[in-house]
Amino acid sequence: MTGPAREKLAVLIVGAGFSGLAMAIRCRQAGIGPLQVIEKGDGIGGTWHDNTYPGAACDIPSHLYSLSFAPKPDWTRMYAPQPEILAYLRETAERYGLMPLIRLGTTFTGATWDEARALWRVETDRGPIEARAIVSGMGGLHHPAYPDIPGRDAFAGPAFHTATWDHAVDLAGKRVGIIGTGASAIQVVPELAKVAAHLTLFQRTPPWIMPRHDHAIPARSRARYRRLPLVRRLERARLFWLHEVRALLGFTKVSKLTAQAEGLARRHLAKAVRDEALRAKLTPPYRLGCKRVLISDDFYPALQRANVSLETDGIARITATGITTETGHSHALDVIVYATGFDVTASFARMDLVGRDGLRLTEAWADGMGAYQGITVAGFPNYFMLLGPNTGLGHNSVVSMIEIQVQHVLDCLKALKTGDRSIEVRPEAQGRFLDRIRRRLADSIWQVGGCRSWYLDANGRNTSLWPDSVMAYRRSARRARMADYRRG
């Protein structure tokens, strides 16, 4: 290997999505280097590079779903569409001079801690790299999950996942089947309904859906945000607290507010869907908040188009020509779209990380994933995760979580910069943190709300979400408490 791969890096950042880019910017500002970002995709943007399905957009308002230190005053819509978010990330990377630091098309396959030299020996599909510290900006939503349905490979027509959209397939005039009714599905269904000859939506569990109220941000507001940064900051703060209040009022637990929110969502459904039988099929049989609460104004109307049908019988098998349900009904299809989400556990566990004394991350996590503040794991010095276990959010912008984590990691990297060879969380600090999380999760909505979601792992434990407000996470994680770390 030639060039930068031979160089011993101070920090290797894995992933050029929101997290990796934010980390790289902050490292540069703090004078931490040499630094490199590797990215498996052929472009930067992470989730916003991968997910290009028609209708892809963010369900958190744009002014909140952006980096506080890299503001964009001229977002065109309340909820930015995917191309605009991707353009924002590209512009931000350019503006902060990150592009020369990023190696695209380079997949992180594993790393081994070299105790004697106090560095990570990293394996990629493009050769080895050595780095004193690794920051994972990989997140948990990048391994598409395909359902284990008999005959899945038998289908003769095109079949693809929402996260790997095949734009070469023209869906106009086609009979399209789409499996899944999560956040991705409800965005893509209204778009496909406009072009397909017939669209069949295969629903296993109906989602709770709230009104979205998306709208263009008027030119005069954009001009004002550009001219008066304080006004933009106030708008961001307003949006932050609007979302944060959901957690503070008990969004994480079954409460009086749950019933009120369910009432609001039921009214949204009743207003949009007059047909009682269809409404019954679309009414969730579990408590609101147990799965991610979705927002949409066009999903219910799309389902009532003449060329759209909702199939709620279970899928028995996929055949060469379509999908057959458990009641024996065969749907003839030209194309199948999998809106079936991501394999979160695999995203974290698949990487072959070997820490101190040969401990593998998969062994450390044999009973489930867990990390101190969702960031560091005992036995894995100088290894940091952004959007690691238990730091996802259902109620607010994950970008706020990323920024808190970046600050925490920066504290640790600064300790390395000023002479420490290694920094590793103490097992007792990690244990205390995880106990705290588990206690809080025990009676949380995700555990007792009567549903099964991707938030829960194979043992039925929520290893995905932060069970409190963003402000609580900020208090907990923003500064790295050095007493909780062992420095070598």
The answer to whether 42 touches 126, Cβ cutoff 8 Å, is no
Tokens representing residue 100 in the block = 């020369």
Residue 181 contacts ligand NAP per CB under 6 A: yes
Residue 182 contacts ligand NAP per CB under 6 A: yes
3-state SS class at 56: coil
Cβ nearer to ligand NAP, comparing 119 with 265:
265
Given 36, 66, 184, 396, the residue binding ligand NAP (CB under 6 A): 184
Residue 315 contacts ligand NAP per CB under 6 A: yes
3-state SS class at 292: coil
Please state the closest distance from residue 107 (CB atom) to ligand NAP, in A.
Answer: 21
Please state the closest distance from residue 213 (CB atom) to ligand NAP, in A.
Answer: 15
Please state the closest distance from residue 278 (CB atom) to ligand NAP, in A.
Answer: 17
Residue 463 contacts ligand NAP per CB under 6 A: no
Cβ nearer to ligand NAP, comparing 342 with 446:
342
Cβ nearer to ligand NAP, comparing 150 with 358:
150
Q: Which residue has the tokens 């964009």?
A: 72
> What is the spatial distance between Cα 250 and Cα 469, in angstroms, rounded to a whole number?
9
Candidates 22-30, 56-64, 127-135, 258-266 — which segment interacts with ligand NAP by CB under 6 A? 56-64
Angstrom distances, CA of residue 300 to CA of 13, 203, 264 = 41, 13, 15
Given 44, 58, 193, 273, the residue binding ligand NAP (CB under 6 A): 58
Residue 183 contacts ligand NAP per CB under 6 A: yes
Please state the closest distance from residue 367 (CB atom) to ligand NAP, in A.
Answer: 23
> What is the spatial distance between Cα 324 and Cα 329, in angstroms, rounded to a whole number?
6
> What is the spatial distance between Cα 65 and Cα 221, in angstroms, rounded to a whole number?
18
Q: Using CB atoms within 10 Å of the CB of residue 456, give its burial: 0 to 12 exposed, 13 to 18 middle, 19+ buried.
A: middle
Tokens representing residue 285 in the block = 């049989």
Strand 383-385 relative to strand 127-136, pairing: parallel
> What is the spatial distance between Cα 439 and Cα 467, in angstroms, rounded to a whole number?
10
Strand 315-318 relative to strand 322-325, pairing: antiparallel
Residue 310 contacts ligand NAP per CB under 6 A: no
Given 6, 8, 204, 436, the residue binding ligand NAP (CB under 6 A): 204
Given 33, 34, 110, 147, the residue binding ligand NAP (CB under 6 A): 147
* 179 phi and psi angles, rounded to 5 deg: -105, 125
Q: Using CB atoms within 10 Å of the CB of residue 440, give its burial: 0 to 12 exposed, 13 to 18 middle, 19+ buried.
A: middle
Cβ nearer to ligand NAP, comparing 149 with 169:
149
The answer to whether 210 touches 265, Cβ cutoff 8 Å, is yes
The site string for ligand NAP over 283-302 (x = CB under 6 A, - otherwise) reads ---------x----------
Please state the closest distance from residue 487 (CB atom) to ligand NAP, in A.
Answer: 35
Residue 341 contacts ligand NAP per CB under 6 A: yes
> What is the spatial distance between Cα 38 and Cα 24, in angstroms, rounded to a whole number?
11
> What is the spatial distance between Cα 145 and Cα 172, in angstroms, rounded to a whole number?
26
Cβ nearer to ligand NAP, comparing 40 with 292:
292
The size of the chain, in residues, is 488
Residue 78 contacts ligand NAP per CB under 6 A: no
Given 28, 52, 59, 486, the residue binding ligand NAP (CB under 6 A): 59
Virtual torsion, Cα 422, 466, 344, 316, nearest 10 deg: 170
3-state SS class at 65: coil
The site string for ligand NAP over 91-130 (x = CB under 6 A, - otherwise) reads ----------------------------------------
* 97 phi and psi angles, rounded to 5 deg: 65, 35
Residue 339 contacts ligand NAP per CB under 6 A: yes
Please state the closest distance from residue 81 (CB atom) to ligand NAP, in A.
Answer: 10
Residue 380 contacts ligand NAP per CB under 6 A: no
Cβ nearer to ligand NAP, comparing 180 with 190:
180
Query: Among candidates 337, 347, 45, which has minimal Cα distance to 164?
Result: 337
Cβ nearer to ligand NAP, comparing 146 with 241:
146
Residue 64 contacts ligand NAP per CB under 6 A: no
Can you give the binding site for ligand NAP, defined by CB under 6 A?
A: 57-60, 141, 147, 149, 162, 179-185, 202, 204-205, 292, 315, 339-342, 454
